[in-house]
Amino acid sequence: MKVIKKSDSRYFEQSCTKPYDRHVYRLHTVDGRQFDIEDYIQLQATWFQNPKQFLSHVEVLDIE
């Protein structure tokens, strides 16, 4: 089994144990743009379909 390092753009770390359908995901780009995505599967697809030099991080927002 190949281990993916934290520096690899494919690395994902769970930051919240709540069900994923209770969040909105804010995708940040390196040029400062932000995109809110409501569906976790769509977020994953967007992350993995974009070159890593354009993406910065994902912010998980709780729905209140």
Q: How does 40-61 read in b/e, with b if 16+ C-beta sit within 10 Å?
A: eeebeebbeeeeeeebeebebe
Are 2 and 11 a contacting pair, CB within 8 Å? no
Q: pLDDT value at position 55?
A: 92
Are 53 and 16 a contacting pair, CB within 8 Å? no
Q: pLDDT value at position 64?
A: 65
Q: pTM value? A: 0.65
Q: Find tokens 């281990």 and name the residue.
A: 3
Instruction: With a cut of 70, list the residues of the chain below it in pLDDT.
Output: 18-21, 64
